[in-house]
Amino acid sequence: MPTIYVHKLADVEDGAQIGDGTHIWRWTHVMPKAKIGGQCNIGQNCFIQNNAVIGNRVKIQNNVSIYSGVILEDDVFIGPSVVFTNVRKPSPFETIPEEDYAKTIVKKGASIGANATVVCGVTIGENALIGAGAVITKDVPPGVTVVGNPAGILVRDVYGNSFVVSFEQYYIKRRHIN
């Protein structure tokens, strides 16, 4: 029978919802209103804020913070040191109410490589692949690979050679194909 494993050096606050078979490793802090599905693996030194939502079979590598407003659907992979944000214009002089946090959604099966930054308010499509170190500032279509800063879409020409196009170029090309 599956159980929840929480390392003795992790801090999972009362009220956090955690599904069966999930493992939470050392120095990770899960706040009381966080929701984590079953069969997840949360690496060491992670932070899961109130109202963050993590689906089933999600793997989060070390040093990742999942803030309120971030939704990770099922079967998502988050590489080490990925950065999520939830406020578009942070300020040290005012407190942003949680209802004003921008939603960020990572759809089913998406993978985000190490050290990528995901600016709040975007949706990463199903089965998309975000290259290591990419900076995501716009919605990512399903099933594509994006790389770079700012991120562009990796495509292949008729000879199989890879190159990167902007999101605008990608959508213009798709409009002409369809």
Residue-wise pLDDT tens digits, 45-80:
999 999 999 999 999 999 999 999 999 999 999 999
Q: How far apart are the first and last CA of the chain?
A: 49
- Tell whether 31 is covered by a domain: yes
Amino acid 164: pLDDT:
85
- Tell whether 157 is covered by a domain: no
Q: For a pLDDT cut of 70, what percent of the chain falls above it?
A: 95
Question: How much helix, strand and coil, in percent to the nearest 5, is found in the chain?
Answer: 10, 30, 60
Amino acid 172: pLDDT:
67
Q: How many domains does the chain have?
A: 1
Amino acid 177: pLDDT:
54
Sites in the chain below the pLDDT cut of 50: none
Taking the C-alpha atoms of residue 96 and residue 112, their distance in angstroms, rounded to an integer, is: 27
pTM over 0.75: yes
- Tell whether 84 is covered by a domain: yes
- Tell whether 178 is covered by a domain: no
Buried b (16+ CB within 10 A) or exposed e, 105-121: bbbbbbbbbbbbbbbbb
| Token pair of 162 as six digits | 């890879």
The whole domain housing 109 covers 5-151
